[in-house]
Structure 1
């Protein structure tokens, strides 16, 4: 091999190594840049008093993981407070790996979310699989449920209501009549088999507007047709590491337990998305939006997948 050719090969290798290093450095930096996604939620039967109101959604704090992205969690909470939405929703996975001593993680979670309560923004949550310690579809053990109950109790003691397969009426200072109600439906965690979507949605009158919150998108497929015109989930982290222009490929979809992502096989269409609106999934007249979350799984890196605060503006669907 002549010297000229060898020199070109070395330059090529150095360029590839430099590019990979640059991508790695950006993957460590990107998690600290929060995206605010403005989304219109079209809801049938929405009353005029809810028209134009905003609902903010965040997900997947994963407190307790090494290099946990608490700075961006705090930034997202501050942004919600500045937005002054009608409600704030947190779609589960408050902690990363709950152990016997949850106190440090719980203290940090409560510290992070306290500004929402201080600002008197009605805040609601569901729990995720990490809050139970589940990574695959499996029956939750007594200790798993005990740890999740402790997380729920701490959140509710701080002023955040946790919903588990139940529906409530969202508070609305402008409400003047019974038909002005907007229901929030909160569904239990899917992987530890705490998810009962049909039981939850059955609590909403058929003539009432509703907004559905869950952690794992797998719960969405069980909602009967036309019962969830707007639903939001977390869990996927948007894939966490994504190749630009290839929304169907992400690192998370390969490293996660297959049962954790089994819902993907139910999506109809050529492109499989794990964040934003998910077309071709679920029953007729139901729509699912997946928030990219804020924290991490396995590696403290995001690439082409910035953390997300979703702000839904409510509109009546005619």
Structure 2
């Protein structure tokens, strides 16, 4: 049967079945179809609008996670006889969503600031416990600072060692301590000594100490500061939850870990912060025990999802003055 064309009410229908006088296909209800349901239209429009909004938010969050800036801060450090510029990079999370090209950009940005000292605040690694971080080490080896480059371990570094490795179903690797020792040596060979409850006199008026990750129950800030003497003190701790439990006054503490909450909203801040103190130590300048000033960086990488909102990554450049 040939094709039949009919027009009704501005609508065009194509088909092969005969039409009734009213223009509707034979064998069907001769009455006109019901008018569109306005509620259904509103629901569909709402779903479409919501989907577009979520997509836009997701795209913006991905873009924010990939974009970083240099945050410049000044602080007085009692006992320091001459100013000092410190570049602080933390929470790189290499291996999850971060790879060598991103680390290269961060290293280039740090070197461009010509700092006197470079400090890494932990969670450099976010890899399987059998993976080799050679590309990361090759990039970190390019860091340049006359007073040296130093770092501490964070909780994701321990996951990468195989101590409660979440990428292996939470099963600890029996030789995780040996892997930690091997990677500690590898970082040192790349020019990044790891301070495990230890410190160094980087200048005759400045002691830099570093503590092990707080979640491993092996943190000893007193040991990290034991050799400071009369020097100004700077303590590196991945986790800011150490701050209320400092054994005594410290000139300055630098921390990471929280990512600033990673996802923040106007008026309410970050709904989720990996801290037993909630948003108290989420980011920026805070105080620890004995009135100790501390700076908590938002970090450079991401954890969980490669997404940030109102919480862009940062490389921190601190000018310390006596």
Is the TM value for this pair above 0.5? yes
Runs of 4+ in 1 over 6 A off after TM superposition: none
Alignment length (residue pairs): 280
Query: 1:311 offset after TM fit, Å?
Result: 0.5
Q: Which residue of 2 aligns with 1:54?
A: 85
Q: Partners of 1:135 and 1:291 in 2: how far apart?
A: 25
Partner of 1:27: 61
Provide structure 2 residue ranges, at least 5 long, that are not aligned to the other structure.
1-34, 166-171
Indicate how the Cα distance of structure 1 residues 149 and 120 shifts in structure 2: closer, same or farther if over 3 A, else same.
same
CA root-mean-square deviation: 2.5
Match of residue 304, structure 1, among 310, 316, 320: 310
1:177 aligned residue: none
Quote the Cα distance in structure 2 between the aligned partners of 1:192 and 1:97.
Answer: 18
> In proportion to residue count, which structure has more helix?
1
Please say if 1:291 is aligned against 2:272.
no
Q: C-alpha displacement at 1:184, in angstroms? A: 0.5
SS of structure 1 residue aligned to 2:216: coil
| Larger Rg computed on CA atoms | 2
Q: In 2, distance between residues paired with 1:111 and 1:29?
A: 26
Normalising to structure 2: TM-score of the pair? 0.79
2:271 aligned partner? 250
Gaps of 5+ in 1: 172-179, 266-270
For 2:146 and 2:116, locate their aligned partners in 1 and report how far apart those are by CA, in whole Å: 10
Counterpart of 2:255 in structure 1 is: 233
SS, match of residue 24 in structure 1: helix
Q: 1:151 to 1:191 in 2, by over 3 A?
A: same
Distance 1:146 1:192 in 2: 16
Match of 2:140 among 113, 122, 131: 113
Residue aligned with 2:56, SS: helix
Corresponding residue number in structure 2 for 1:11: 45
Equivalent residue number for residue 151 of structure 2: 125
Which piece of structure 1 moves more, 3-12 or 300-309? 3-12
Distance 1:64 1:45 in 2: 40
User: Aligned to 2:218, which of 194, 198, 211?
Assistant: 194
Q: Could you give the per-residue CA deviations for residues 27-84 of structure 1, whole angstroms, max 9, x where no partner exists?
A: 122122112111112111111xx22x2100011111221x325443322210111111
Higher relative contact order, structure no. (Cα contacts within 8 Å, ≥ 6 residues apart): 1
Aligned partners of 2:241 and 2:281 also within 8 Å = no
On the 8 A contact 2:86/2:118 being kept in 1, the answer is yes
Q: 1:160-175 counterparts in 2 under 5 A?
A: 160-171=192-203
1:176 maps to what in 2?
A: none
Structure 1 residue 275: Cα displacement: 1.2
Q: Structure 1 residues 71, 275: closer, same or farther in 2, change over 3 A? A: farther
Q: CA deviation at 1:4?
A: 4.3
**TM-score, with normalisation over the residues of structure 1?**
0.80
The 3-state SS of whatever aligns with 1:74 is: helix
Once residues 56 and 86 of structure 2 are traced to their aligned partners in structure 1, the CA distance between those partners, rounded to angstroms, is 37
CA contact (8 A) 2:117 2:146 kept: no
- Following the alignment from structure 2 to structure 1, what is the Cα–Cα distance between the partners of residues 266 and 252? 28
- Structure 1 27/303 Cα, relative in aligned 2: closer, same or farther at 3 Å? same
